[in-house]
Structure 1
């Protein structure tokens, strides 16, 4: 599992449709019954629209049928060599994955290139440390944009009260988050209200972050200029060389993510807010300078 699940049931007022993660990703799409979610034909329309908008190719959404799988190709190799993304129709996991491809193609292509390169190196039956990191990020990843790196030691120490409560006004102003992992959205869809992201920390200029359209819950839908640099670093093996590159970030602490997010007891006792493991050290943030 790439997500830390909670045995707790959602609080009585939990509404997955109003949760910022689902509202952020698909707006009215999740208000329809599962069987009415877009099939591959509808996703293909969205793919062509996205490609016309930014000029970046995405793999074709191909229904995952026995005939498709009979080509014998690895999932990642099929994307790289045939430009086809095997997609289980009316499946929430694959639906959210499709949305990520539509919004973050550069990051997705970088992950795919690294996966294919490592498969060629060790074969389809083994996994490198890099592949584990890539998969963690693909499933549960987020990018945290930091214009104030003074917040980083608080995060590194898992001082959740200081990061989320004492510095509550910083979220959406000098720190923002781009949610990338499609399994995070599925996690909330399945009723879990305490998702934990596997996050990359990226230091950015304060002026560059301030110029972005940061929405509710400190979320930045996408930042193509900055993401292109992150994608290049992933493709080059500078980022996501090891799962230890990723920091856990319990999203329920961010303002707007949970009704109890500002309460000291919640930040101390909810199972997603775990103390730092003895001896755990995180790498410095990746730095991107605009201009």
Structure 2
């Protein structure tokens, strides 16, 4: 059965944090394991706070986040979306656990509503589409200002100082088939080092429903990152205003 995992190009720079164990686990799925079985096989080396189970294990009428919190089991469908969600649990276990707790706290306050409130909306955007930025103030300020010429051309050499990690599993899924408009919601981290474990610990300590309700994100067209896409070596790449949009007027 084709799951889409066979189309992942593990050599793309944005997947570098996930090559281990992702590539091996994708091969296990291709060889016949379910995604849940493959992800569970990595738990000895990547002690995530959940085990993975088929989606059918989620009781009818029970909220997904509540089930994970109560049981320690993560329902997992076959396909790219839930596979990347599992890889995020393995790689950023503290951040994922914190998000699960914050979701549950919001559900306890408001119940399951037809339309998510600002906090749950922010939590969902973060979980699905966030990227983490660790780097110089001058680059962050240019990103927030959407000053694309300064960010990607004038200050291009300073990107060597940046650690940018794509976290959101929907974002990683979209980038299996890269397109210029794909945009990440970037959250700035002040982790002590570029190590993934330090970034994970910092994020878990920093995140709150109040912060995420305020949508503290900068918008980054991912293929504009220097070194991530061959075409962006030409400064004209950034002249496409349908992707690299000017900031909104106040």
Give deviations 1:163-210, integer Å, cap 9, x for gaps.
Answer: 11211111132x221211111221122343543110112346xxx44x
Unaligned 5+ segments in structure 2 are 1-7
Equivalent residues in 2 for 1:264-275, closer than 5 Å? 264-269=235-240, 271-275=242-246
Structure 1 residue 47 and structure 2 residue 6: aligned?
A: no
Which residue matches 1:282? none
Equivalent residues in 2 for 1:85-234, closer than 5 Å? 85-89=74-78, 91-125=79-113, 126-146=115-135, 148-173=136-161, 175-192=162-179, 194-203=181-190, 208-209=192-193, 212=194, 222=196, 224-234=197-207
Give deviations 1:26-70, integer Å, cap 9, x for gaps.
Answer: 36359759754752122111123211xxxxx421101112xx233
Q: Rate the CA distance shift 1:273–1:195 in 2: closer, same or farther, 3 A.
A: same
**How far apart are the structure 2 equivalents of 1:102 and 1:278?**
41
What SS class does the counterpart of residue 67 from structure 2 fall into?
A: helix
Q: Which has the higher contact order (CA 8 A, sep 6+)?
A: 1
- RMSD of aligned alpha carbons: 2.5
**How far apart are the structure 2 equivalents of 1:253 and 1:191?**
12
Decide whether the 8 Å contact of 1:110 with 1:231 is kept in 2. Answer: yes
**How far apart are the structure 1 equivalents of 2:181 and 2:9?**
12
Which residue matches 2:227? 256
What SS class does the counterpart of residue 75 from structure 2 fall into?
A: strand
Alpha-carbon shift at residue 21 of structure 1 (Å): 2.5
Alpha-carbon shift at residue 144 of structure 1 (Å): 0.4
What SS class does the counterpart of residue 144 from structure 1 fall into?
A: strand
Superposition TM-score, scaled by structure 1 size: 0.74
Unaligned 5+ segments in structure 1 are 1-14, 52-56, 214-221, 280-291
Decide whether the 8 Å contact of 1:164 with 1:262 is kept in 2. Answer: no
Q: Rate the CA distance shift 1:41–1:28 in 2: closer, same or farther, 3 A.
A: closer
Give deviations 1:102-154, integer Å, cap 9, x for gaps.
Answer: 000111011111111111111112422011111111111011012x2122331
Decide whether the 8 Å contact of 2:146 with 2:246 is kept in 1. Answer: yes
Equivalent residues in 2 for 1:7-22, closer than 5 Å? 16-22=9-15
Which residue matches 1:247? 218
**How far apart are the structure 2 equivalents of 1:111 and 1:128?**
15
Decide whether the 8 Å contact of 2:238 with 2:244 is kept in 1. Answer: yes
Q: Rate the CA distance shift 1:42–1:16 in 2: closer, same or farther, 3 A.
A: closer
Q: 1:28 aligns with which of 14, 23, 27?
A: 23
Q: How many residues are paired up?
A: 239
**How far apart are the structure 1 equivalents of 2:32 and 2:178?**
18
What SS class does the counterpart of residue 209 from structure 2 fall into?
A: coil
Alpha-carbon shift at residue 255 of structure 1 (Å): 1.6
Structure 1 residue 80 and structure 2 residue 69: aligned?
A: yes
**How far apart are the structure 2 equivalents of 1:102 and 1:30?**
12
Alpha-carbon shift at residue 241 of structure 1 (Å): 2.5
**How far apart are the structure 1 equivalents of 2:204 and 2:98?**
6
